[in-house]
Amino acid sequence: MDWNMFLAVAQTIAAIGVGVSVVYVARQVKETNAMTRSIMRQEVSAEVNAWAMAVASSPQLSEAMAKVHYRHLLREDATETEKIHIGYVYIGVIGAAFLAHQHMEDGIISQEKLEEIFGRDSVIFTRPYLKSLWPVLRGGYSDNFARWLENRYGLAGAG
């Protein structure tokens, strides 16, 4: 076998090896991305579940949130204790929405998943109480998230 033939065979084998390596690395990256997305979805779900369990396990908090949901309690009509309870609930829920929104902006979860978790008709975001509280909370979040939340739930100009 002459030297040129040997080089051609060696280059062909090397090219096949590089191709196989690229396919393998691409598969590993895809699996890692899928695992990361799954972890992030679980993280957001855990945040929402923790909030729900906090409300469910506290009679005072449940009563305060029931007033928000069923009696359309306004912030100015709430007792000081209710304001604290309800404020922390909203901080938790909005914090979970912010986390999910950040994951969506980072490409970790899809827009569809974000929409699935925080549907347009999410009751907690559509009550007048949040509209009165949102101006106080807004400064703690990025402008992108604040605009998304405001547009999604009609909170723009709230307060």
Tell me: the pLDDT tens digits for 117-132? 777 667 778 888 888 8
Exposed/middle/buried for residue 134 (C-beta within 10 Å: 0-12, 13-18, 19+): buried
Answer whether 129's CB lies under 8 Å from 74's CB.
yes
Secondary structure class of 98 (helix, strand, coil): helix
Mean pLDDT of 7-25: 79
CB proximity list for 45: less than 8 A, separation 6 or greater = 117
Q: Pinpoint the alpha helices (H) of 106-142.
A: 111-117, 123-126, 128-137
| Cα separation, 10 vs 4, whole angstroms | 10
Give residue for tokens 């807004």: 138
**Structure confidence at residue 36 (pLDDT):** 74
Taken in order 104, 108, 112, 115, the sign of the CA dihedral is negative
Per-residue pLDDT for 112 more than 80? yes
Mean pLDDT of 144-148: 92
Distances 32 to 29, 38, 102, 107, 118 between C-alpha atoms, Å: 5, 10, 19, 13, 26
Extents of the domains making up the chain: 42-153
Mean pLDDT of 31-46: 72
Which of 9-23, 43-57, 60-74, 119-133: highest mean pLDDT?
A: 60-74
Mean pLDDT of 78-95: 88
Tell me, what DSSP letter sits at residue 127?
S
Mean pLDDT of 88-114: 86
Per-residue pLDDT for 37 more than 70? no
**Structure confidence at residue 155 (pLDDT):** 86
Mean pLDDT of 26-48: 73
| Cα separation, 15 vs 126, whole angstroms | 59
